[in-house]
A and B are shown apart, each in its own frame.
Chain A
Amino acid sequence: MTTASQTEKTSFLKKLFNRPEKEYADPYLGGILLGLVLFASLFITGSGLGASGGYSRYVAFIEDLVAPGHIDQVPYLIHIAGGELNPLDNWIVMVTTGVLLGGFVSGLLHGRAKVELVKGPNISNTTRLVMAFIGGIIFTFGARMARGCTSGQALSGGAVLSAGSWAIAFAIFGSAYALAYFVRKLWL
């Protein structure tokens, strides 16, 4: 992130980005804070948290730029971006934008915002990147099928006791546990 030529700015950025890396919070404490955020969201707005809905709208926005007429032929996207609708004019886009900002600020403050590739010890960088990309495709495909991901369904739907959300939460963890052994080389 830093370039050597810009001296003044660099030293500031260096200070900003080279903070000593701090440890993550205790998981129970993190969970309580996350629960308070979720409660605040439901209490004030009636909506829970979400992430994959933001993905849909970013994609619809890009499609609208690249192939404007095409959206009107995709039944699944018409209701979010058909005709004159602006797919980004929606609360969930605000939430996901906030997630990016909040994650960035926290990473910065705790010295954890730095360019790196996180992977298991026994795979190459390329394998990790390819698997992350494929995992991303599969995950959001499943999230669209289930009408929500770990945030919108498992977390938010779970907290308000939706039966379907609990079924989805168990399906996610069940399938990940069942497959974990066979792909252990990726992580162990």
Chain B
Amino acid sequence: MDFAFMAEAFPQIVGAIPITLLMVFVSAAIGWVLGLLFALVRRADVQFFSQAVAVFISFMRSVPSVILLYISYYVMPAVIYFYGQNIGIEINVSGIPAVVYAIAALTLNQAAYASEVFRSAIAAVDEGQFEASYSIGMNKTQALQKVILPQAMATAMPNLGGLFIMLIKDTSLAYYVGVYEITATANLLSMPTLNFIEAYIMTTVIYEVLSFVFNQMFRAEENHLKRFRAVLAAQV
């Protein structure tokens, strides 16, 4: 073990945590909102949109994340460039940082998985809750907002927590398109002296700690959301 290398490299790898978390937070925030919208569109059975969403989800779930990332990174710039030309604007696509393409790919990936989580969580809410809402004169939006979604979120929370942890790990794929996040930084630092084992031990520890912290946060939120249920709390 090259402890001198570890002591020197560790702060730099830790320094890459913010870029990893940036990808995680932005992708989860946008992806989950999209996912919820997709779930509601499918539930409402809106003509054309429901089918389009179903196809999108099935496509997203069958393509490996890394391929999605490559498509985003190599195809999107060309699309954006030609679209810009079409409407008469010269867009400097090489000026867009790689992390944007990584976030785009991760966001769509999250949207697809989160929509399935939300769909099953909404379906798990008893139909009688809708009926009671309607019986006191609520419209559909009020029923969803006040009664159905608060209950569905409690059901969705464990799966969202799982998605979130997967997302943290998936950000390491951004390495392939040149984003200097945790894995990329560790790998590059280890190359000159071939200290790969040390580098991977350090990244493992960092991912473990991140997962642990966010896992605890999701458990706490889960317990808060399902306080109305007469069952035991999840172990924190």
A and B: real partners? no
* A residues apposed to B, CB below 8 Å: none
